[in-house]
Amino acid sequence: MSINRNLLNIIIILCICLNLGCNEGAQERETDSHTVQVSSLLPSSSSSCVLSPRASTTKSSLHVTHRHGTCSRLNNGKATSPDHVEILRLDQARVNSIHSKLSKKLATDHVSESKSTDLPAKDGSTLGSGNYIVTVGLGTPKNDLSLIFDTGSDLTWTQCQPCVRTCYDQKEPIFNPSKSTSYYNVSCSSAACGSLSSATGNAGSCSASNCIYGIQYGDQSFSVGFLAKEKFTLTNSDVFDGVYFGCGENNQGLFTGVAGLLGLGRDKLSFPSQTATAYNKIFSYCLPSSASYTGHLTFGSAGISRSVKFTPISTITDGTSFYGLNIVAITVGGQKLPIPSTVFSTPGALIDSGTVITRLPPKAYAALRSSFKAKMSKYPTTSGVSILDTCFDLSGFKTVTIPKVAFSFSGGAVVELGSKGIFYVFKISQVCLAFAGNSDDSNAAIFGNVQQQTLEVVYDGAGAEKSDSGKVLDSYTIQVSSLFPSSSSCVPSSKASNTKSSLRVVHMHGACSHLSSDARVDHDEIIRRDQARVESIYSKLSKNSANEVSEAKSTELPAKSGITLGSGNYIVTIGIGTPKHDLSLVFDTGSDLTWTQCEPCLGSCYSQKEPKFNPSSSSTYQNVSCSSPMCEDAESCSASNCVYSIGYGDKSFTQGFLAKEKFTLTNSDVLEDVYFGCGENNQGLFDGVAGLLGLGPGKLSLPAQTTTTYNNIFSYCLPSFTSNSTGHLTFGSAGISESVKFTPISSFPSAFNYGIDIIGISVGDKELAITPNSFSTEGAIIDSGTVFTRLPTKVYAELRSVFKEKMSSYKSTSGYGLFDTCYDFTGLDTVTYPTIAFSFAGGTVVELDGSGISLPIKISQVCLAFAGNDDLPAIFGNVQQTTLDVVYDVAGGRVGFAPNGC
């Protein structure tokens, strides 16, 4: 991706503008670190509003606030704000939109004195969104409206009456152009209408000779309406006639009560371009870090500090709207990171007021994270959240010393971030490094608004493929009490709830299961059953020696852990037959044929919680004949009907008729003629479920049978056993994270399982000393039904040795069953585990969640959740898969992993 420099300049003031622009109190730049009060990391509880002095005293200024802030006209103290997860989700949607726009190629040090207008800004990271708003007057007489200001957008627009189709809820009265004497529509033949393509990405259309605009954003929000001209009033002294804007009569999205958007991009329809004769395409802002202060947005050069240092604006691929930057270096605690120059120069970088978290190329982020963690090593780490994977627990600390982070730009400008620009705070026990890696080396870096907080950022528009996962966290510090479930209530998976083609997956004995009244199985029985499954897998094995998921229709179901709930199996509920009969089925990547118990039970049936399926009551049931190709692997026939028989490792079995039936996953996803087993003779420890959903690689598995619908893609996330929430099982590619990293599916050691190539394991900061053939000789598989990961004897011995060394400060205790490395945490409030990460073929590194490391029998007996397997194939079990998004792209021949999948 090429970067074309020009004479445009972007100006970033190096001094932190706490007094200059944001009115929050200054800091010195004398050391390589910030020492701050831990309590100051959280937002102030004050409900008062402190106005920006610059915005209040500059004649051409308006105040900028956050839409949910204390100082906002939209805040009545009752409205709910999006939580941090929603903020980060919306932020990722914006980043995805920016990177999408950048996917195609396009081909002085003084600010000119000019008239100026200033507006003030307020922080949104802790208030519900990363967006900042200004209030401007529109029309004659003027109608004061709150608009998001956005350097990544060009066209200014607001909702207008009448709402021909639909409008989202807006706090202020919606603008009515029929009541303004200065409003008029723009014709289709105007040059401005012809400019819509570059400003919005969509060419203008016509309605009765009037120009129609349409614009869509990364989170699928949109606005459609008339391109018009109107009077804009910034202050009493700064009034502009004939400003082009969008009068939207069909608008939807998460705009949370604001009236619309103020476009500050580089296109000729942006507000800075339209007011160039007054302000010379110059504007600046300061975004405060405190919820109770305003910052400012200033048009023109008034009040700009003489200490400003400039760096050239660059033009990024297909990104005429964006303000490009040339990042040349990053330092952490005074030490320059070892980042090759091409890491930034190849994909480019931009600065954006609407992106919350700064995104860096994978190698740059890995270097930043590694250095930052090393300098923060005395603070306990904690689990990541969403895109933020480097977090700390600062509970009990009064102060924290943070290494300073500084960015160097072309032209010699160096920007040192304020302490509030380094962390994103969820709570004192979860304070995260406010940076994230891009999913691809080719994606541009984005300098986000958290990092811009308290800086004066001045825009002088007239002046001028291999992903590296980086070093993983060295440890987790967790509350000992959190090792066990804390609630019996059920929290449904948001992913499963919000995807139209989804069903919930729960554990058969979990709080979310209607089977949960059954007696729970103890740990001994869990381990016994798990070992039986492993032996069954090994018995079967002894008889057999680009990164994009294809688009397909999707269906999703949710999952809950069973380690402490009675079993390692997870279940989904689906409908079978016509009318549909809802049944709970264990889902299993190690089995192909789906089956359920059926009436009549000619042999015997085990006890089942739900009524058994009766095929005679279904109008869509039909047996499969012995001559069917699908029957070729069956063992026998009965009156020309195909009979199947399956035995499992714990001596459980099912026998019955191979049949075809309608399967209802959701109301929108109904599958006709699915082959399944209608079992009339079934025995085993199935704990009340109706049967099994086969997700294996064979032709009779549900993914294989539905390949035309879901493209043989499915994914799941199994929640931690300490969680009272569900996870999900998803068919198709909908909702799959862009952070998924893939490793090839191997047919070794068996074509009947999903093989994977493990090439390394690390514990804490230490790579295990294992030979290349440690796994390659016997192979490895991933399995949803095996509870605990099994490793070759020598590999397990090395893992255990390093883990015990890292845990030497904790009291050891006797083993439990096949687990020989256990600890007594009695009397401890927290415990710090070394992290464990698996490296797979293709460069994919998977760091296990803290819950995927130990099996808590009781507080005085918490065991390492791995076992040796006498040099048989390794099995990557479901405890180690918890909280990961595990994606099976069978058609593409690969398995992928992403963190925080539930």
Please give the torsion angle defined by the CA atoms of residues 601, 602, 606 and 608, in that order, rounded to the nearest 10 degrees.
Answer: 0
> Which SS3 state, helix, strand or coil, does residue 195 take?
coil
Side chain identity at 128, as an amino acid letter?
G
- Residue from 267, 588, 687, 889 carrying the catalytic annotation: 588
- Residue from 783, 849, 885, 889 carrying the catalytic annotation: 783
- DSSP letters for 330-389: EEETTEE----THHHHTT-EEE-SS--SEEE-HHHHHHHHHHHHHHTTTSPEE--BTTB-
Spatial neighbors of 764 by CB under 8 A, at least 6 apart, are: 474, 475, 802, 806, 834, 835
| Residues 785/570, Cβ–Cβ less than 8 Å | no
53 membership: H or E segment, kind and range: helix 53-57
Please give the torsion angle defined by the CA atoms of residues 775, 886, 431 and 124, in that order, rounded to the nearest 10 degrees.
Answer: 150
The number of C-alpha atoms within 13 Å of 899 and in the hemisphere containing its C-beta is 24
Question: Before 703, cis peptide (omega within 30)?
Answer: no
154 membership: H or E segment, kind and range: none
- Going 47 to 52 to 53 to 59, the CA torsion angle's sign is negative
| Residues 620/661, Cβ–Cβ less than 8 Å | yes
The span from the CA of 650 to the CA of 241, in Å, is 81
The span from the CA of 746 to the CA of 327, in Å, is 41
- Residue 799's nearest CA partner among 779, 828, 819 is 819
How many CB atoms neighbour CB 608 within 10 A? 21
- Residue 879's nearest CA partner among 863, 866, 870 is 866
Side chain identity at 333, as an amino acid letter?
G
- Residue 670's nearest CA partner among 733, 559, 552, 579 is 579
The span from the CA of 300 to the CA of 275, in Å, is 10
- The reply to whether 118 belongs to the active site is no
Residue 392, CA distances (Å) to 360, 381, 385, 417, 834 in order: 20, 4, 11, 19, 14
| Rg (the chain; Cα; Å) | 30
The span from the CA of 122 to the CA of 277, in Å, is 28
- The reply to whether 783 belongs to the active site is yes
What are the two backbone dihedrals, phi and then psi, of residue 451, each rounded to the nearest 5 degrees? -75, -20
- Residue 658's nearest CA partner among 626, 684, 688, 683 is 626
| Tokens (6 digits) for 63 | 């105040």
User: In sequence order, what are the beta bridge partners of 392?
Assistant: 381, 431
How many CB atoms neighbour CB 66 within 10 A? 30
The span from the CA of 145 to the CA of 134, in Å, is 8
The span from the CA of 265 to the CA of 321, in Å, is 5
Indicate which residues carry an active-site annotation: 588, 783
